[in-house]
């Protein structure tokens, strides 16, 4: 039984060579890179652009978020799963590690950005990667034992639909002090936001863990880190340029990793 469903009619998609087809003959080609675009007709592709994806890849490859990646794997080790979806997988930094550590599991990744999906499918050869919106996922009901969300939009209703009963939602989210020094370097005044309510309707929180540490970053990594945040597109050219001559800066990384069960 195929996990994928057609974004037009909702019928199961079956793979025939390099195409996925439903019984109504809607078809979707699997790209040479290995991902399939299931965004559906008339849906424009948004999400992270090529600059953001490249900046994230450089930053993540510097190892400064390895503690988060290790923390996520530790949480996943406590969960029994055969199928996992990385929702908003970006270019597959976390997806790849999960494929390597949990070899027996079927790993899926979804992102609305075509550039990100392309990179993820090149990096994670054994994962099933598609371009789609997290708010309208091309998977049948109760397909996954676990959904992972790392800094991506939270589509709780869809997670609930595609998760099996008692399936897990593992979510990484920033704490209020995350990247405080970077924001202070860019903006004249910074509002420290309170941590959002951790309740998610339809889910029960079973564990939460915080990781806080300092990263010593030079100019290029500071710029890459800023470029991969949601602030990037909302910040003026003048404010962004403040990072150009900044040199070295110690920046706080502060994350929470939550483990929820679908109820």
Ligand X SMILES: C[S@@+](CC[C@H](N)C(=O)[O-])C[C@H]1O[C@@H](n2cnc3c(N)ncnc32)[C@H](O)[C@@H]1O
**Interface residues with Zn ion (CB under 5 A)?**
6, 8-9, 22, 24, 26
**Which residue stretch of 72-80, 84-92, 173-181, 254-262 sits at the interface with ligand X (rule: CB under 6 A)?**
84-92
- The answer to the question of residue 37 lying near ligand X (CB under 6 A) is no
Segment near ligand X (CB under 6 A); pick from 33-41, 127-135, 174-182, 238-246: 127-135
* Shortest Å distance, C-beta 23 to ligand X: 26
109 binds ligand X (CB under 6 A): no
81 touches ligand X by CB under 6 A: no
135 binds ligand X (CB under 6 A): yes
User: In angstroms, what is the minimal distance from the CB of 201 to ligand X?
Assistant: 19
CA–CA dist 17, 74 (Å, integer): 37
Does 93 contact ligand X by CB under 6 A? Answer: yes
| Residues 131/36, Cβ–Cβ less than 8 Å | yes
Q: Which stretch binds ligand X (CB under 6 A): 21-29, 73-81, 108-116, 242-250?
A: 108-116
Q: How far apart are CB 48 and ligand X at their closest, in Å?
A: 4
Give the separation between CA 229 and CA 53, rounded to whole angstroms.
11
Residue 38 binds ligand X (CB under 6 A): no
Is position 138 an interface residue for ligand X (rule: CB under 6 A)?
A: no
- Which of 111, 158, 224, 259 touches ligand X by CB under 6 A? 111
In angstroms, the CA 199 to CA 208 distance is 12
Can you tell me which residue has the tokens 């370097």? 185
Q: Does 150 bind ligand X (CB under 6 A)?
A: yes
**Pick from 81, 139, 151, 203: which binds ligand X (CB under 6 A)?**
151
Given 38, 84, 116, 256, the residue binding ligand X (CB under 6 A): 116
Residue 23's CB: how many other CB atoms inside 10 A? 11
CB-based contact 46:135 (threshold 8 Å): no
- Residue 121 burial (CB < 10 Å; 0-12/13-18/19+)? buried
- Tell me which of Zn ion, ligand X, none is bound by residue 24, counting a contact when its beta carbon lies within the kind-specific cut-off of 5 to 8 angstroms: Zn ion
Residue 26 binds what, of Zn ion, ligand X, none (CB under 5 to 8 Å, by partner type)?
Zn ion
Residues near 127 by beta carbon (within 8 Å), at least 6 away in sequence: 86, 92, 95, 96, 99, 107, 108, 109, 120, 121
If the CB atoms of residues 105 and 172 are measured against ligand X, the closer one turns out to be 172
Interface with ligand X (CB under 6 A): 47-48, 56, 88-90, 93, 111-113, 116, 133-135, 150-153
């Amino acid at each position: 039984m195929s996990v994928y469903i057609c974004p037009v009619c909702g019928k199961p998609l079956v793979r025939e060579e390099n195409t996925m087809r439903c019984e109504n003959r809607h078809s979707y080609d699997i790209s040479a890179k290995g991902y399939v675009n299931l965004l559906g007709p008339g849906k424009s592709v948004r999400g992270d652009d090529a600059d953001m994806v490249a900046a994230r890849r450089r930053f993540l490859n510097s190892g400064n978020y390895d503690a988060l990646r290790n923390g996520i794997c530790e949480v996943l080790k406590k969960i029994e799963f055969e199928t996992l979806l990385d929702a908003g997988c970006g270019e597959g930094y976390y997806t790849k590690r999960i494929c390597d550590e949990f070899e027996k599991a079927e790993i899926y990744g979804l992102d609305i950005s075509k550039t990100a999906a392309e990179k993820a499918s090149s990096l994670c050869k054994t994962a099933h990667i598609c371009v789609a919106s997290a708010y309208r996922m091309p998977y049948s009901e109760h397909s996954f034992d676990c959904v992972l969300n790392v800094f991506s939009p939270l589509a709780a209703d869809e997670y609930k639909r595609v998760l099996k009963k008692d399936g897990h939602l593992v979510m990484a989210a920033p704490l209020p002090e995350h990247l405080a020094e970077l924001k202070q370097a860019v903006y004249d005044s910074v509002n420290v936001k309170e941590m959002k309510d951790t309740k998610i309707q339809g889910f029960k929180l079973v564990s939460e863990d915080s990781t806080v540490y300092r990263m010593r970053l030079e100019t290029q990594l500071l710029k890459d880190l800023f470029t991969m945040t949601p602030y990037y597109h909302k910040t003026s050219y003048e404010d962004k340029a403040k990072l150009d001559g900044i040199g070295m800066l110690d920046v706080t990384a502060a994350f929470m990793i939550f483990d929820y069960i679908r109820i």
